[in-house]
Amino acid sequence: MKAKKEFKRKVVLSIVFLVALMGIFSFIGTDNLYADETQEVVETGSANLKWGLIAASIAFGFGALGAGIAIANVGSAAMGAIGEKPEIASQALIFVALAEGVVVFGFITALMILGKV
């Protein structure tokens, strides 16, 4: 039980660290996108573009993370079920494909956000 708690704490800590690191790099990386234009256009256009890029990366990133977690849980359960009853393999693969669809939703959302920017 203690090992499970320690593992959970490490996973949460690494996710928090990853999100913080992504936030820092997104602010640093999108700061001077249009440095050759006039200052007024850079300030207004760059701010909108910066937040749009951050929103798109968050939408896709969380979609990919959610799909990874879902596929890990559903896939392991599906493999266990297939091991006991091989005739349900096609049904089990449908559930894995449904979990994979979460990435597609995140990708479409990111494309819609980028289309508005």
What percent of the chain is predicted at pLDDT more than 70?
A: 84
Output b/e per residue, 42-75; b: 16+ Cβ within 10 A.
Answer: beeebeebbebbbbbbbbbeebebebeebbeebb
Higher per-residue pLDDT: 9 or 24? 9
Torsion angle of C-alpha atoms 40, 41, 47, 48, degrees rounded to 10: 140
What are the CA-CA distances from residue 105 to residues 57, 83, 97, 113 (Å)?
Answer: 13, 31, 13, 12
Residue showing tokens 């300030």: 43
Higher pLDDT, 55 or 42: 55
pTM: 0.58
Residue ranges of domains in the chain: 55-117
CATH top class, domain 55-117: mainly alpha
pLDDT score of 84 more than 90: yes
Compute the distance between CA of residue 33 and CA of residue 46 in angstroms, rounded to an integer: 7
What would the mean pLDDT of 109-116 be, rounded to a whole number? Answer: 89
